[in-house]
């Protein structure tokens, strides 16, 4: 396959960094818009989607508050340069699967290949779904280690229909159970978060683990929903290591009901 005519899409910048360290020369694009969360009915550029995407940067200086819009424009302009796309996805991971549905639905005129990333060895941490790609990319040291398949037109149609179904349902949260999308509301998790947030300080990973939440971003969105609905009053700490990124720790002030 001519590598000048194909672009590789990964769902996260960390994996791209690992591949570059391994000196694998491909055309890379990062697509990481948290489509398993929030409103997907109005497109990536909607204010609702950008709010979810900017979750980690909403406490930054004003200059950093429009990352989502610029990233979306850059992605859409870049992908149009290629006739073929190859998507790297951990199909156990809801974020990856929903991203895959979106890409197939919006770029089905192109040849679409999928690299199905195998599970990590360690199953103890959130089932390791978010780290499948990282471990895979760290171990990949040769382009020919890639195993990928071309989506048939029938498969594309199936995935487009699934995306359209999810747009119509438009739930707060989309997760995977046994390979099937399960739709949840933010409020489904309120009582779980309240049950573990009695201590003054709790690490975000600890909350996710004890609430069986698969992603820290999901916890951030749920906590913000709880604040908006006056169920919980919390204070997000700023990271001491990198200005503009929310620390992975939360301070609970009080329960309001």
Note the pLDDT of residue 147.
73
Handedness of CA 207, 213, 217, 222 (dihedral sign): negative
Note the pLDDT of residue 253.
66
Question: Which residues touch 70 (CB under 8 Å, ≥6 apart)?
Answer: none
Successive 10-residue mean pLDDT values, the chain, 257 residues:
76 64 70 88 78 57 53 84 89 88 95 82 48 62 70 96 97 91 95 80 77 83 86 67 49 62
Handedness of CA 222, 227, 230, 232 (dihedral sign): positive
Take residue 257 and report the two structure tokens written for it. Answer: 């009901």
Note the pLDDT of residue 150.
94
Note the pLDDT of residue 160.
97
CA distance 211 to 218: 11
Ordered DSSP codes for the chain? --TTSEEEEESSHHHHHHHHHTT----EEE----TTBS--SS-TTSHHHHHHHGGGTTTS-GGGTTHHHHHHHHHHHHHTT-SEEEEEE-TT-HHHHHHHHHHHHHSTTSEEEEEEPPPPS--TTGGGGGGHHHHHHHH---GGG--EEEPPHHHHHHHHHHHHHHHHH--SEEEEETTEEEEE-GGGGHHHHHHH--SSEEEHHHHHHHHT-S-HHHHHHHHHHHHHTTSEEEEEEEPSSSTTSEEEEEEEEEE--
Question: Which residues touch 183 (CB under 8 Å, ≥6 apart)?
Answer: 166, 169, 171, 173, 174
Note the pLDDT of residue 216.
80
């Amino acid at each position: 396959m001519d590598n000048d005519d194909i672009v590789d899409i990964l769902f996260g910048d960390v994996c791209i960094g690992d591949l570059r360290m391994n000196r694998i020369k491909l055309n890379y694009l990062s697509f990481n818009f948290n489509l398993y969360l929030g409103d997907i009915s109005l497109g990536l550029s909607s204010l609702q989607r950008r709010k979810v995407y900017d979750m980690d940067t909403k406490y930054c200086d004003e200059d950093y508050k429009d990352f989502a819009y610029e990233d979306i424009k850059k992605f859409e302009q870049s992908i149009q340069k290629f006739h073929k796309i190859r998507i790297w996805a951990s199909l156990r991971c809801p974020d990856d699967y929903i991203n895959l549905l979106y890409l197939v639905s919006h770029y089905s005129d192109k040849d679409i290949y999928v690299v199905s990333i195998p599970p990590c060895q360690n199953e103890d941490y959130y089932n390791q779904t978010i780290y499948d790609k990282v471990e895979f990319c760290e171990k990949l040291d040769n382009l020919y280690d890639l195993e990928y398949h071309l989506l048939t037109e029938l498969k594309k149609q199936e995935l487009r229909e699934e995306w359209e179904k999810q747009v119509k349902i438009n739930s707060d949260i989309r997760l995977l159970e046994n390979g099937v999308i399960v739709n949840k509301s933010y409020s489904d998790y309120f009582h779980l978060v309240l049950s573990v947030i009695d201590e003054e300080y709790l690490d975000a990973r600890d909350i996710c683990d004890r609430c069986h939440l698969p992603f820290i971003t999901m916890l951030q969105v749920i906590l913000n929903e709880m604040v908006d609905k006056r169920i919980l009053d919390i204070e997000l700490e700023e990271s001491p290591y990198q200005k503009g990124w929310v620390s992975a720790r939360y301070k609970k002030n009080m329960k309001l009901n």
